[in-house]
Amino acid sequence: MSQTNSTTRWCPTPEQLMILEEMYASGVRNPNASQIQQITSHLSLYGKIEGKNVFYWFQNHKARDRQKLRHKNLPHPSDEASPPTSVHHEGPSNFLTQGCFQDATSQEMNLVGKLESAAAGGERQEAAVTASSSMEGDHPPRADVGFTVSSCLKPLKTLDLFPTKHEYSSSSSSSSKSSSRSKSTH
């Protein structure tokens, strides 16, 4: 059995890539766990894929797109690194920030944690909690944004929806990593 997915990283198939790109073009940018689950289930039919892959894909795609776009608009050859006149920046007006430092799996991991647990070719999806309504981070002027994708195959039908449970399943294994990432070269 070859660890198709152990040490190897996800290799998007053309079909998957196409669908993902179509979704992205349609406006999908930050799908939730539920959305990711659906997408994953859909794409899993084309090949092995996990929810986290979908999540990462959208994140990377968006970030890179933006980065590239930004690079294009870099006509600032005669300026310095000190824009004193603009007060635009809002710095941490709110001194409250939360994140993580060394170990501690935080934000994305939370979402990914669930994603990597389900889907992946099996029909084991169990995530679905539609609570709020809204779109992703960007909220285009339009209300409904539909993505045009082949909705032909997709056994997905019984999406669970049990919003009445909030138990922690974490094994709480104090994973102490605290190991500085090998900077290597640096």
Work out how close the CB of 175 gets to DNA at its nearest, in angstroms, rounded to a whole number. 8
User: Which CB, 34 or 45, lies closer to DNA?
Assistant: 34
CB of 43 to its own copies, least distance (A): 13
Distance between CA atoms of 128 and 156, rounded to whole angstroms?
12
Would you count residue 76 as binding DNA (CB under 7 A)? no
Residue with tokens 């944690």: 113
146 binds, among DNA, its own copies, none (CB under 5 to 8 A by kind): its own copies
128 CB neighbour count, 10 Å cutoff: 17
3-class state of residue 126 by DSSP: coil
Q: How far is the CB of 93 from DNA (least distance, A)?
A: 6
The interface with DNA within residues 6-65 (CB under 7 A) comprises 7-12, 17, 29-30, 32, 52-53, 56-57, 59-64
176 binds DNA (CB under 7 A): no
Enter the DSSP assignment of 50.
Answer: B
> Phi/psi at 38 (nearest 5 deg)?
-65, -50
**119 lies in the binding site for its own copies (CB under 8 A):** yes
Rounded to a whole number of angstroms, the distance between the first and last alpha carbons of the chain is: 38
For DNA, the binding residues in 82-141 under the rule CB under 7 A are 87-102, 105-112, 119, 122-127, 136-138, 140-141
Residue 144 interacts with DNA (CB under 7 A): yes or no:
no
Distance CA 151, CA 80 (A): 51
For DNA, which residue of 70, 72, 76, 157 counts as binding (CB under 7 A)? 70
Q: Please state, as a whole number, how many other Cβ atoms lie within 10 Å of the Cβ of residue 145.
A: 13
Strand partners, 50: 119
The answer to whether residue 136 forms part of the interface with its own copies (CB under 8 A) is: yes
